[in-house]
Amino acid sequence: MKVILASASARRQELLKRLTNEFEIIVSKFDEGKIAFDGNCGSYVMKLAEGKALDVYKDIKNESVIIGCDTIVSFQDRILGKPKDEMEAFNMLRILSGNCHQVYSGIALVNSLSGKIIRDYVCTDVKFDKLSNDTIKKYIEKGEYKDKAGAYGIQGYGGTFVEEIHGCYYNVVGLPLNKLSKMMVEMGVNS
């Protein structure tokens, strides 16, 4: 069965290669603004992931499994999305400094022939070291914060801020491999 990843994320593409080398990328044009945050991070990321997968699904004619995924950072019930600019990135990292936050990834798989949808999510607790303003400014100058929920990437220099992690590391990168592998088997994809 053909596998389609509904994401432009290079990180997700690289991680998916650990489960299968045979997949196509069709970037979803789903408007995430259509989904209002209902106060439940798990439910929210699953709805976002499903929206992305269904956006690609509507144009698929052959038998495929479409994978939609979305990752958010949450701190004290507040979502820290992708920062719009350096100032917003700085403020996010100040908030995370010395604190524990949660990273949620929602995954949705859609079978293009049957219309079957399965979805789930993973949550990982991440504890940051105390960061000085100087450290944050130097990190922002590297540009690594761009296009990353919570303004950091654990797989890059941002990983040096992480004091502890409880849960799936790959979830924090953006694609929880263990969960996705089980879901692909459930959907009939040999992984």
Which residues are annotated as catalytic? Answer: 70
Q: Is the CB of residue 12 less than 8 Å from the CB of residue 5?
A: yes
23: phi then psi, degrees, rounded to nearest 5: -150, 155
How many other CB atoms are there within 10 angstroms of residue 133's CB atom? 11
Closest CA to 73 of 177, 173, 178: 173
Strand partners, 75: 78
The CA–CA distances, whole Å, from 123 to 60, 134, 139 equal 30, 30, 25
Token digits of residue 126? 């991440």
Tokens 């690289």 — which residue?
A: 14
Cα torsion for 119, 16, 65, 148, to the nearest 10°? Answer: 50
Which 3 state secondary structure label does DSSP give 126?
strand
Token digits of residue 157? 């220099």
